[in-house]
Structure 1
Amino acid sequence: MTKLPFLSIDPSTREVSLDAADPAFYSDPNRTYAALHAACPTFFWKEQKRWFFTGYDHVNALLRDRRFGRQILHIATREELGMPEPLEHTRHFDLAESKSLLELEPPEHTRLRTMVNRAFVSRHVERLKPEVEALANRLIDGFADKKEVELLSAFADIIPVTIIARMIGIPEEMGPQLLAWSHDYVKMYMFGRTREDELAADKASKEFADYVRTVIAERRASPRDDLLTHMITTEHKGQHLTEEELISTTIVLLNAGHEATVHQIGNSVRVILESGIDPATLFADEKATERTVEESLRICAPVHIFQRYALEETEVDGVSLKRGDVISLVLAAANLDPEKFEDPLVFRPERSEAPNLSFGAGIHFCIGAPLARLELNVVLPLLFKRLPGLRIARPPVVKDVYHFHGLEALHLAWD
């Protein structure tokens, strides 16, 4: 087994000590996942004080298991669970999350998802392909002659946020502000967040919600052909979305609609260039492109962990759980399970093994997966076609945010 100085594993108790803030870990978490798969794919992470599951079959099953859910307070009180009261200084964030698609369970989740889902099914998303291609070409036109670029700020940051903003009906010029709010907002999901992070997330939540509220008012007064108008006017079993549901849903769509895809564009370009495989082979046709995109999602997923509450007393892989216990499912590690993937740490697009779990599974499967896949299948081959001899100009640095895996910057050059 690989020995890593920042990792301590006791296979007999399945206890693991691991510092998530160690750059040696978050810069290359796949090495750690390989060590965990070899010793104990299910483990108790002492610093995080909960059980984690990395085995593909366990993660896949638990994502679909209705004994577990994204929330618990719909069936139990804080007092019953010994759960602390909400923090006063994160009340705006908590309000935004309270009606989030990511956090709700049926029947509320079913109602919200039904009213939003139509815009994200593959046949509707496919219509956006010319738009994504035109935007990508325009951005590349802006730096192609310079023979060098920092790809995230000049390209990856812009495409997903522009497309999701257009879909929802948010002006494109709001892109930089949306990115700023989103970056502060998602700090609440990170390990080891500070009070400063919480205050920044709460401030972003209030400003984000206030802005969305003004756009909702505009759409009520003057409907348009966009997703926000659709959410306002559509009903499900005689019910419309409430104001707070509209705000929460818009925020989660804007955040989820670009945050992970930005990371994945950078991750994918990096892994392709570091693989040494000829891009002409990887993007030879649509099928080859799809395989390349799926393999990059498998080996360098942008979102690593999703959590679930145990909704009842149960046992999984010998771990006894009581109602209210939190477990963590490591999607990125499940994608590297040697029981499912041969040479899992090797980038190999010709694989025909299990599908990756990067978008989750079950009722909370990522609603934006068709859009993310479309964007990746369009922009990646374009980059390599338009920039011959593309190469990494400086060693990439991974962001200090384990949970969301992405780069600080990706400096590229070409012939």
Structure 2
Amino acid sequence: MLPKPAISIDRAKRRVSIDVHHPDFYRSPSSAYAEIHAHCPAFYWNEREQWYFAGYDQVNALLRDRRFGRQILHVATREELGIPSPKAHLRDFDALEEHSLLELEPPAHTRLRTLVNRAFVSRQIEQLRPDIQRLSHVIIDGFERDGEVELLKTYAETIPVTIIARMLGIPVEATPNLLDWSHRMVRMYVFNPSPETEHDANQASADFADYLRTIIAEKRRAPADDLLTHMITSEKDGERLSEAELVSTAALLLNAGHEATVHQIGNAVRTILQSDHAPEDLFATEATTALAVEECLRFAAPLHIFQRFALSDLDLDDGISLRKGDKIGLMLGAANVDPRKFSDPLHFKPMRNEGANVSFGAGLHFCIGAPLARLELNLSLPILFQRLPGMRLKHEPEVRDSFHFHGLERLDLVW
């Protein structure tokens, strides 16, 4: 019997079957995306039972389309849509998600984002440059003489979680717990999490929330010059963030402030080391560094899917009809390798300048931390390659069997 393929496509019906746990798929989803682009960039994913969109123009447009939202229960009831009741064993996880910027729609989203946004504008983020540079060097000092390192745990993870913790005003000593809670929570975002994953994510959410409530209480007693104090004391139209909003927002910023960046640093280092391009050329100037970083974000994006609800019955231009409450999937990773947008898209071309990738999303929910992530990448990658000029892969890295987040299990380097 022939082995089952990772992907099969019925072009006439625009139906696609994908085994997300097939090594040929999760190790290199771009190959499957190339087939999708060639046959049906808008398709019904049989296993997921909903429509997905892979074309750059359509993904970019739908991310901005206000007929779709991250929420649906603000315009319809569970009974109307046939959505089951919340799972009791996910009560604490759902409580953290309830006030998350990622899940809200205006006016709640507008109010919350306005109160947080000031800390993430480019001029504020630029002030972190010396801290990121200093931290990058200090971490490398710790392993440079060893001649080898597992990069994800020592470097890729430490930089973003340390920086976001400092921004928020959370003790850096707490970062091991923050990382543990975060890792356990984000496992909920893969397709079909197991009951064990759900229970574990809920416990992590409860512990995370308890810790944040303690920190918030301390900030109320002794305000400091940090983002958490700013969120506690800031007002918008006479309103302040509630306790639940503060906890949800802090958890989101800590999780989103490092999870994707960790994978992107790992993916970028692997991509560069496996390419024919000399790091000293890629990072010769700030301009070439910026182009190389953007190409890494396009070529090896860490986050591959965002989902949206149709907020009403509607018809799309390509003949797809949706009912109110239908979910659609927007394939960021596939959009980034659309041959209609990018020439020779499956090749890493660091001096490429063909328009923006969609790795940070677009529209209302464009990633608030994009300026911070870009700065961390633009500083940490050149410093790493400059400090360790003979760096190479110890062996072929293993890709995680986790489709939503495309990243490595570990990244072992030698020099």
Structure 2 counterpart of 1:179: 179
Distance, in Å, in 2 between the alignment partners of 1:348 and 1:42 is 26
Structure 2 counterpart of 1:370: 371
Q: Deviations over 1:279-322 (max 9, x none)?
A: 11100100000000000000100000000000011122221001
- For the residue of structure 1 that corresponds to 2:348, the secondary structure is coil
- Is residue 305–residue 329 contact of structure 2 (8 Å, CA) maintained in 1? yes
Structure 2 counterpart of 1:320: 321
- Give the TM-score of the pair, scaled to structure 2: 0.98
Paired letter, 1:387:
L
Task: Count residues in correspondence.
Answer: 412
Distance, in Å, in 2 between the alignment partners of 1:331 and 1:396 is 23
Structure 1 counterpart of 2:80: 80
Paired letter, 1:333:
A
Deviation at 1:21, TM superposition (A): 1.3
- Is residue 291–residue 353 contact of structure 2 (8 Å, CA) maintained in 1? no
Distance, in Å, in 2 between the alignment partners of 1:401 and 1:197 is 13
1:65-104 correspondence runs (5 A): 65-104=65-104
Deviation at 1:153, TM superposition (A): 1.1
- Is residue 120–residue 371 contact of structure 2 (8 Å, CA) maintained in 1? yes
Paired letter, 1:355:
A
1:7-406 correspondence runs (5 A): 7-316=7-316, 317-406=318-407
Q: Deviations over 1:35-78 (max 9, x none)?
A: 11011101111111111000000000000000000000001100
Deviation at 1:4, TM superposition (A): 8.7
- Give the TM-score of the pair, scaled to structure 1: 0.98
Q: Structure 2 vs 1, CA of residues 4 and 195 (structure 1 numbering), >3 Å: closer, same or farther?
A: closer
Distance, in Å, in 1 between the alignment partners of 2:195 and 2:99 is 23
Structure 1 unaligned spans of 5+: none
CA RMSD of aligned residues (A): 1.0
Runs of at least 4 residues off by over 4 Å: none
Distance, in Å, in 1 between the alignment partners of 2:232 and 2:4 is 52
Distance, in Å, in 2 between the alignment partners of 1:91 and 1:179 is 21
Distance, in Å, in 2 between the alignment partners of 1:183 and 1:349 is 31
Range with greater deviation from structure 2 (13-22 or 228-237)? 13-22
Distance, in Å, in 1 between the alignment partners of 2:116 and 2:342 is 34
Distance, in Å, in 2 between the alignment partners of 1:155 and 1:318 is 47
Paired letter, 1:332:
G
Paired letter, 2:348:
F
Q: Deviations over 1:231-285 (max 9, x none)?
A: 0000000000000000000000000000000000000000011112011110010
Structure 2 unaligned spans of 5+: none
Distance, in Å, in 2 between the alignment partners of 1:388 and 1:4 is 43
Q: Deviations over 1:356-383 (max 9, x none)?
A: 0000000100000000000000000001
Distance, in Å, in 1 between the alignment partners of 2:131 and 2:297 is 23
- For the residue of structure 1 that corresponds to 2:43, the secondary structure is strand
Paired letter, 2:266:
G
Deviation at 1:192, TM superposition (A): 2.4
Sequence identity (%): 61
Distance, in Å, in 2 between the alignment partners of 1:183 and 1:397 is 18
Distance, in Å, in 2 between the alignment partners of 1:379 and 1:21 is 32
Distance, in Å, in 2 between the alignment partners of 1:16 and 1:260 is 27
Q: Deviations over 1:205-249 (max 9, x none)?
A: 100001000000000010000000000000000000000000000
Distance, in Å, in 2 between the alignment partners of 1:329 and 1:123 is 31
Distance, in Å, in 1 between the alignment partners of 2:121 and 2:142 is 32
- For the residue of structure 2 that corresponds to 1:407, the secondary structure is coil
- For the residue of structure 2 that corresponds to 1:117, the secondary structure is helix
Deviation at 1:351, TM superposition (A): 1.3
Distance, in Å, in 1 between the alignment partners of 2:57 and 2:312 is 21
Paired letter, 1:347:
F
Range with greater deviation from structure 2 (3-12 or 225-234)? 3-12
- For the residue of structure 1 that corresponds to 2:274, the secondary structure is helix
Q: Deviations over 1:169-217 (max 9, x none)?
A: 1100111110100011011111121000000110011000010000000
Distance, in Å, in 2 between the alignment partners of 1:276 and 1:204 is 42
Distance, in Å, in 2 between the alignment partners of 1:143 and 1:300 is 26
Distance, in Å, in 1 between the alignment partners of 2:16 and 2:22 is 15
